[in-house]
């Protein structure tokens, strides 16, 4: 009886979106850095296990504006003129068929460091964050999901890897993301200042101990301990930022933002995360976001009884149906997210969508295929001429060429990224 009467409350309705014009703190920011044009933002979405290759990719013979979105992308139809589907991108070094996210934004070679069986390099989002993160409360925000391995993401804690090639932790639950972004515990300013001071003393204290641990260590061990130092430095940076932002309340939406339900999973979870991302952008809490999406719980939520890994090894039949259903549902949610980005108005009358660079894809194409990584980009922030289906002349064009293109297009001055060999100029022309 419950099955039929199961009441699926749209949890996303709970997040009231902040109204830009009403944000007192936004004016504060504008006063500090008066910009006529709204800022650029970058969003990177990674979905782990690959897509259904038979029904997700447009026909390679139909390039340019005149092409049909196949089944897996069909829900994006209403945005077709604002999206670009690219084929022929891949990470030349990745041979790990279950690692959809580890090197997705980095293009690194796992074996690049002698004497190590794993290494990574900085991810594209963090390159952007170094520039775009200066003026916002959060330098960047990493969202994720529980059981990332089961969703085909591979090692890592989010899509993001820092300058040292070490994993950056993600917020793996909407509640955690909500708290980081919007919760205000109502602590008075004075007390918060005292808390910050206290946190600093804690850091100083552990660093005293770090100094004595460091005594007599080998070079390798000192490098290892440096990860601890780096963590402390990261917190210090965050605390300094928090201090700068102390007088500024966290983005206050017109209606109170409510906490997402804790039991949410799968489709609803993705929806809420998109809404939180949108709210974060509107409130200008951050300008760089990554999201390592759930696949395993996602398909379970769609009624599948198999795991994400089972699905990824699809063959015609039930598993392939699940895989295709997942492709469509994901596209549908993305389309909804684009709707909201378009509907969100900036003070100058343009939309948030006009200033965003959004990418959507994975390092895994399908099953165990790692070539032709599924890639969709959208948003007006990069100067890309959308509405086209692009098949790269070289079927092994580095995925990093796209990241370089998006970074440059968004105004990040960078000469190369990962194994990039240049920008994809066709995107702009």
Partner 1 sequence: MRGFFASFLVVCPLMLPASAAETPRAVLPERHAAVLDKYCLECHDTATGKGGIDLESLPLDLGTIESAETWQKVLNTLNSGEMPPEKKPQPGFDEKAALLDDLSARLVTARKLLSDTGGEITMRRLNRREYENTIEELLGVEVDAKDLPADSGSDGFDTFGSSLFFSSDQFEQYIALARKALDAAIVTGPKPETKIVRIEAEEEANRRIRGIFRGYQKQGYVAWKRWQASKGKPTTDFGFPDDKEIEFRKLVWDRESPDFADYLSREETLTGAFLTVSNPNPQVGLAIPDEAPAGRYRVRARIGVNRAAKPDPSRTFVEIGFRGDDIEGAIDLIDCRKINAPMTNPEVIETEVALPPLSRPLTVDVGSQTKKKVTLGERVIAFRQRLPNNRDAARFLRYESVNETGFNTEPALWIDWVEWEGPLVETWPPASHEAIFFKGPEAGKTDAYAREILERFATRAFRTRTPDPEFLDSLMAFHQAETKAGKPFEEALKKPLSIVLSSPGFLYLKESGLGFSPNAEDELGQKSKTLTPAELAVRLSYFLWSAPPDEALLAAADKGTLDTPDGLERQVDRLLADERAAGFVSGFTHQWLHMERLDFFNYNHRLYPDFDDSVKMAARQEVYETILNLLRRNRPLAELLKSDTLVINDLLADYYGIEGVNGPRFREVKVPVDTPRGGLLGMAAILAMGSDGERSSPVERGAWVMRKLLHNPPPPAPPNVPQLSRHAGKLLPARELLQAHMEEAQCAQCHRKIDPIGYGLEHFNAVGLWRETEYTEIAANNRVRQSKEHPIDDSGTLPDGTKFDGFFELRDVVVSRHESFARGFVEHLIAYALGRPFGFTDQDLADAILEQGRKQGATPRAYLHALVQSEAFRRK
- Contacting residues toward partner 1, per CB under 8 A: 1, 4, 92-97, 109-112, 114-118, 148-150, 155, 157, 166-169, 198, 201-202, 204-206, 208-213, 216-218, 220-221, 224-225, 227-228, 230-232, 234-235, 238, 262-263, 305-307, 309-310, 313, 315-318, 367-371
Minimum CB distance to partner 1, residue 417 (Å): 19
CA distance to 1, 269, 303, per residue, from 5 (Å): 6, 21, 16
Nearer to partner 1, 34 or 262 (CB): 262
What is the distance between the alpha carbons of residues 34 and 258, in angstroms, rounded to a whole number?
31
Which residues on neighbouring strands pair with residue 290, listed in sequence order? 44, 142
Q: Are 168 and 154 in contact (CB under 8 A)?
A: no
Q: Which is nearer to partner 1, 263 or 413 (CB)?
A: 263
Q: Minimum distance between the CB of residue 234 and partner 1, rounded to whole angstroms? A: 4
Q: For residues 154 and 419, give the distance between their C-alpha atoms in angstroms, rounded to a whole number.
A: 20
Smallest separation, CB 161 to partner 1 (Å):
10
Each as own residue / partner, the long-range contacts of residues 397-400 (CB below 8 Å, 24 or more positions apart, any chain) are: 397/88, 397/89, 397/90, 397/421, 397/424, 398/89, 398/90, 398/91, 398/92, 398/107, 399/89, 399/90, 399/91, 399/104, 399/107, 399/363, 399/373, 399/375, 400/91, 400/107, 400/124
Q: How far is the CB of 24 from partner 1 (least distance, A)?
A: 29
CB-neighbour burial class of residue 307 (10 A; exposed 0-12, middle 13-18, buried 19+): middle
Which residue, chain included where needed, has tokens 């006529």?
36
CB of 147 to partner 1, least distance (A): 9
Residue whose CB is less far from partner 1, 19 or 232: 232
Residue 309, classified by CB atoms within 10 Å of its CB into exposed (0-12), middle (13-18) or buried (19+), is middle
* CA 397/CA 13 separation, integer angstroms: 41
Q: How far is the CB of 231 from partner 1 (least distance, A)?
A: 5
- Which residue, 108 or 333, has its beta carbon nearer to partner 1? 108
Q: Which is nearer to partner 1, 199 or 416 (CB)?
A: 199
Among residues 63 and 206, whose Cβ is nearest to partner 1?
A: 206
For residue 69, give both structure tokens: 């979105």
Give the nearest distance from C-beta 100 to partner 1 in angstroms.
12
| Closer Cβ to partner 1, 52 or 80, answer by number | 52
- CB of residue 309 to partner 1, shortest distance in Å: 6
Taking the complex as a whole, the smallest distance from the CB of residue 229 to partner 1 amounts, in Å, to: 9
Report the residue number, 82 or 96, with the smaller CB distance to partner 1.
Answer: 96
**Rounded Cα distance, 156 and 33, in Å:** 35
In the Cβ-directed half-sphere of 64, how many Cα atoms lie within 13 Å? 3
The nearer residue to partner 1, 59 or 394, going by C-beta atoms, is 394
């Amino acid at each position: 009886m419950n099955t039929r009467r199961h009441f699926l409350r749209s949890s996303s309705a709970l997040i009231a979106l902040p109204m830009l014009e009403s944000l007192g703190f936004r004016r504060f920011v504008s006063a500090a850095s008066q910009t006529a044009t709204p800022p650029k933002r970058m969003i990177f979405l990674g979905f782990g296990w690959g897509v259904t290759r038979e029904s997700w990719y447009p026909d390679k013979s139909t390039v340019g504006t005149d092409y049909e979105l196949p089944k897996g992308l069909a829900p994006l139809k209403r945005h077709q003129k604002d999206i670009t589907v690219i084929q022929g991108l891949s990470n030349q070094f990745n041979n790990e068929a279950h690692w959809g996210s580890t090197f997705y934004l980095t293009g690194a070679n796992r074996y690049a460091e002698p004497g190590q069986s794993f290494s990574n390099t900085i991810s594209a989002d963090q390159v952007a964050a170094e520039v775009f993160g200066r003026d916002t409360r959060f330098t960047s925000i990493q969202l994720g999901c529980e059981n990332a391995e089961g969703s085909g993401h591979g090692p890592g804690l989010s899509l993001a890897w820092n300058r040292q090639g070490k994993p950056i932790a993600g917020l793996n639950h909407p509640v955690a993301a909500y708290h980081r972004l919007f919760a205000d515990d109502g602590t008075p300013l004075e007390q918060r200042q005292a808390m910050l001071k206290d946190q600093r003393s804690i850091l100083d204290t552990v660093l005293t101990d770090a100094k004595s641990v460091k005594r007599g260590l080998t070079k390798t061990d000192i490098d290892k301990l440096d990860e601890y130092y780096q963590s402390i430095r990261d917190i210090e940076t965050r605390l300094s930022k928090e201090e700068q932002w102390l007088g500024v309340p966290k983005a206050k939406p017109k209606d109170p933002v409510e906490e997402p339900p804790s039991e949410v999973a799968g489709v609803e979870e993705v929806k809420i995360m998109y809404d939180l991302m949108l709210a974060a952008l509107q409130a200008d809490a951050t300008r760089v976001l990554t999201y390592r999406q759930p696949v395993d719980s996602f398909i379970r939520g769609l009624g599948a009884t198999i795991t994400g890994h089972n699905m990824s090894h699809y063959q015609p039949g039930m598993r392939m149906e699940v895989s295709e259903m997942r492709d469509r549902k994901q596209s549908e949610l993305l389309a909804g997210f684009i709707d909201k980005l378009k509907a969100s108005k900036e003070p100058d009358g343009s939309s948030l969508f006009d200033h965003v660079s959004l990418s959507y894809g994975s390092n895994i194409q399908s099953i165990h295929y790692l070539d032709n990584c599924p890639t969709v980009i959208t948003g007006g922030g990069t100067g890309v001429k959308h509405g086209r289906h692009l098949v790269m002349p070289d079927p092994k064009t580095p995925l990093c060429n796209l990241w370089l293109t998006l970074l440059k297009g968004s105004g990040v001055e960078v000469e190369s990224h990962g194994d990039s060999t240049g920008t994809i100029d066709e995107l702009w022309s």
